[in-house]
Amino acid sequence: MAPAAEPEERELEAALRPKNLADFVGQERVRKQLALVLAASRIRGRSADHVLMSGPPGLGKTTLAMIIAAEMNAPLRISSGPAIQHAGDLAAILSSLSDGEVLFLDEIHRMSRPAEEMLYMAMEDFRVDIIVGKGAGATAIPLELPPFTLVGATTRAGLLPGPLRDRFGFTGHLEFYSVEELELVLRRSAGMMDLKLTSAGFSEIAGRSRGTPRIANRLLRRVRDWALVHGIETIDARTASAALDMYEVDVRGLDRLDRSVLEALVNKFNGGPVGLSTLAIAVGEEPETVETVAEPFLVREGLLGRTPRGRIAMPAAWEHLGLKMPGNAVAAAMLPFDDDADV
C-alpha cells in the first residue's frame, strides 16, 4: 500500500464519501446526537453549535464536517492546525468567513498557542482583536465576525487545552467499526463503483480492514484492480483473499510493518521485553513510525504489550505467527503494563 494516495485515488475516495447523515454508516450514537443538534439549529434559524470530533484516523471526521455543512446548507472552509502557526493566519481565515459558514480545522490540537487564544474569543463572542503596532503604541482593534460553526477534528483529544475543549457545544468520539458495519460501507462503495461481490467477499475484505472505513475502501479498490487484471467479474472470498495476500494484508489486517515488528520481537528478542528504539532498529524503521503506525493496532488486537521494561509479544502474537510460546516469554507477558512506557 502506498503511503500517499494518488490524485485519482483522492477523487474516488471523495466520491465515496456520504453526502448526508442518512447515508453515513456506523457511529450510531454520534450520528443521532449530531442529527438532533443540526435539526434544532435549523428550526431556530441559527448556525449550529461548534462541534469537536475526536478519534483515530479514517473513521469519518472529515466526512462528518462536510455533512454538517451540507445539512446546514452552508459553505465549507477547510484548514488544519499545522497550517495555522500565527494568530494572523487565523485572523485572515476568520475575517473572510461568511454568515453561517462552516470552518473545519483538522488536527486542531496542533494549532499554535497564540492562535488558540484568539480562537477562544472568536468561538464565544464572534469577535477577534487585531493588534496594530508594537510596544507601548500597540492598539487592539476589535473585529466583529459573522456567526459561524467551527468543526474541529483531532486524533489526540487529550492534547487540547481545557478552555478550548469547553467551548465546543457538541463533542463526539468516533469508535472503530465492527465487521458488520464495514460490510455495509463496502456494499455502498461497491454499488457506486459498479462492482459485483458475494457476501463472503465483503466479509473477507471487512475482516482485514482494521475497523476503519478508509482502509476498507482502499482495500476494495485494490481487490477491484486484482480482479480486473485477472478477468474476474464477481469477487468472492477466494478472490479477495488472493488479492489481499498479494498486497501483504493478512487475515487479521496486519501489513508488512506490523508483521515485521511481531517477527522481530518474537524471533530476535524471544518475545521481549525490548526497548522501542532497539525494536525500531531491528525492523529498519524510525521509532516514531513503529510507535504511531504499528503499535496502536497491535496493542488493540492484543498482539503486543507495553510494560515499564519495554515491548513484549503477547500469547496471541505467537499464535498468529504459528509459533509456540516458550516459558520465559510467558513470564514476560505477565509483567505489569504501563500505557505511558517509552523505553
Residues placed in the known binding site for Mg(2+):
62
CB neighbourhood size of 264 (10 A): 22
> In terms of DSSP bridges, do strands 170-173 and 76-80 run parallel, antiparallel, or are they unpaired?
unpaired
Strand, coil or helix: 6: coil
Locate 125 and state its grid cell.
Answer: 463572542
Output b/e per residue, 299-338; b: 16+ Cβ within 10 A.
bebebbbbbebbbbbbebbbebeebebeeebeebbebeee
Where does CATH 1.10.8.60 sit in the chain?
Answer: 179-247
pLDDT at 219: 93
CATH topology (fold) of 179-247: Helicase, Ruva Protein; domain 3 (1.10.8)
Q: From residue 195, how far is each of 207, 208, 225, 232 by CA, in Å?
A: 19, 19, 11, 11
> In terms of DSSP bridges, do strands 127-132 and 139-144 run parallel, antiparallel, or are they unpaired?
antiparallel
> In CATH, what class is 256-326?
mainly alpha
Q: How far apart are CA 201 and CA 182, in angstroms?
A: 12
Where does CATH 3.40.50.300 sit in the chain?
Answer: 12-173
Where does CATH 1.10.10.10 sit in the chain?
Answer: 256-326
Radius of gyration of the chain (CA): 23
Residues placed in the known binding site for DNA:
306, 311
pLDDT at 2: 47
Q: From residue 185, how far is each of 23, 27, 30, 57 by CA, in Å?
A: 10, 12, 17, 16
Q: From residue 325, how far is each of 170, 318, 321 by CA, in Å?
A: 47, 6, 10
Query: Are 160 and 116 contacting, i.e. CB atoms less than 8 angstroms apart?
Result: no
The DSSP string of 278-289 is HHHHHHTS-HHH
**Whole-prediction pTM:** 0.81
Residues placed in the known binding site:
16-17, 58, 61-63, 124-126, 167, 177, 214, 306, 311
Q: How far apart are CA 270 and CA 37, in angstroms?
A: 53
Question: Counting beta carbons within 10 angstroms of the beta carbon of residue 230, is it exposed (0 to 12), middle (13 to 18) or buried (19 or more)?
Answer: exposed
pLDDT at 11: 62
CATH topology (fold) of 12-173: Rossmann fold (3.40.50)
Give the residue numbers annotated as catalytic, written as ranges. 61-62, 106, 155, 214
pLDDT at 222: 92
pLDDT at 186: 93
Which amino acid is it at 200? A
Query: Are 64 and 24 contacting, i.e. CB atoms less than 8 angstroms apart?
Result: yes
pLDDT at 220: 93
- Tens-binned pLDDT, residue by residue, of the chain (343 aa): 444 455 555 666 667 788 888 888 888 899 999 999 999 988 988 888 899 998 888 888 999 999 999 988 889 999 888 888 888 788 888 888 888 899 999 998 888 888 888 888 888 888 877 766 565 656 667 788 888 999 999 988 788 888 888 888 899 899 889 999 999 999 999 888 888 989 999 999 999 998 899 999 999 999 999 999 988 889 899 999 999 999 888 888 888 888 888 888 988 888 878 888 888 998 888 888 888 888 888 888 888 888 888 888 888 888 888 888 776 655 555 556 555 555 4
Residues placed in the known binding site for ATP:
16-17, 58, 61-63, 124-126, 167, 177, 214
